[in-house]
């Protein structure tokens, strides 16, 4: 990340691995099940149904793995770009306060969640860069985070429902007024910062190492940008 000719760093999602293998196994399983129904006696019919079902599941898993982008993250000297089949989002380094693993209270201790959070200085560039389809996906994917660090005064346990789909208009620092799904995402980011301390989150399946290691790596990249490079 240092130097004027630094190459981008690409991160491959853990969930991307073995996609082709799953497809091959699924296809082979369907071939076996077809022979199973033709050759073997009828009392083994249910076993053939099981093999067929398992093969179809393997094909679907492989298909969803293969259709995702080759790399989930691209890290350059200017920004961090997250890539998904539904679109991208971008965080400029100048807009990133810090990255870390959000922690929740469990009794008298604090436990780190299996996710990486990013705290932004300003929401404008991020929300302008994200596609509505990806924004919708994040709203659904990150719903479980609303259950963390809930209000202890909420006796019913359903207080988070009021903020799950908050579609109130949201005004950005540049004067843009957001409506619809992007406004919902902006309000969600505000709520998640209040509860967990971060605005944007990346799931463990989208990175190639543990959340703690990835957060430390982002901190190193961030530090490398501000540390003066000495000539040899």
Report pLDDT digits (tens) over 41-64.
877 788 888 888 888 888 787 777
Give the pLDDT mean for 97-122. Answer: 88
Kindly report whether the global pTM for this prediction surpasses the value 0.95: no
The answer on 181 and 104 residing in a single domain is yes
Show the CA angle centred on residue 218, arms to residues 220 and 115, nearest 5°.
140
Average pLDDT over residues 24-28: 83
Cβ neighbours, 10 Å, residue 129: 17
Same domain for 57 and 114, yes or no, is no
Kindly report, residue by residue over 14-24, the tens digit of the pLDDT. Answer: 766 666 777 78
Q: How many domains does the chain contain in total?
A: 2
Q: What is the DSSP letter of 8?
A: P
Percentages helix, strand, coil for the chain, rounded to the nearest 5?
A: 50, 20, 30
pLDDT (0 to 100) of residue 81:
95
Examine the domain organization and report whether 79 and 63 are in the same domain.
no
Within a domain: residue 5? Answer: no
Considering only 80-94, 126-140, 141-155, 182-196, which range has the smallest mean pLDDT? 141-155
Rounded CA-CA distance 153/156 in Å is 9
What range does the domain containing 194 cover? 73-226
Give how far Cα 184 sits from Cα of 161, 165, 188, 191, Å: 13, 6, 6, 11
Stretch 21-32: mean pLDDT: 82
What pLDDT score was predicted for residue 230? 47
Structural contact between residues 56 and 34, judged by C-beta atoms closer than 8 angstroms: no
Whether residue 143 sits in one domain with residue 29: no
Among 32-36, 150-154, 202-206, 222-226, the least confident range: 150-154
pLDDT at position 227 is 66
111 and 54 within one domain:
no
Q: At what angle do helices 45-67 and 19-39 cross, to 10 degrees?
A: 160
* Co-location of 101 and 24 in the same domain: no
Q: What share of the chain has pLDDT > 90, as a percent? A: 40
């Amino acid at each position: 990340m240092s130097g004027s000719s630094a190459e981008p760093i690409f991160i491959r999602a853990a969930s991307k691995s073995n996609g082709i293998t799953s497809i091959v196994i699924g296809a082979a399983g369907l071939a076996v099940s077809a022979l199973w129904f033709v050759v073997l006696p009828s009392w083994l019919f249910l076993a053939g149904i099981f093999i067929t079902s398992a093969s179809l599941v393997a094909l679907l898993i492989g298909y969803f793995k293969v259709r995702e982008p080759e790399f989930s993250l691209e890290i350059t000297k200017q920004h961090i770009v997250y890539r998904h089949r539904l679109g991208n989002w971008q965080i400029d380094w100048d807009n990133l306060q810090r990255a870390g693993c959000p922690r929740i209270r469990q009794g008298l201790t604090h436990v780190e969640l299996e996710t990486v959070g990013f705290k932004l200085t300003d929401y404008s560039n991020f929300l302008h860069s994200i596609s509505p389809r990806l924004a919708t996906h994040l709203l659904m994917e990150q719903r479980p985070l609303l259950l963390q660090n809930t209000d202890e005064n909420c006796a019913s346990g359903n207080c988070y429902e009021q903020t799950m789909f908050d579609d109130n208009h949201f005004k950005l620092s540049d004067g843009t007024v957001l409506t619809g799904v992007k406004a919902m995402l902006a309000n969600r980011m505000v709520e998640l910062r209040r509860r967990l301390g971060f605005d944007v989150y990346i799931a463990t399946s989208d990175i190639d190492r543990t959340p703690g290691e990835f957060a430390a790596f982002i901190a190193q990249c961030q530090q490398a940008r501000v540390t003066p490079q000495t000539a040899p």
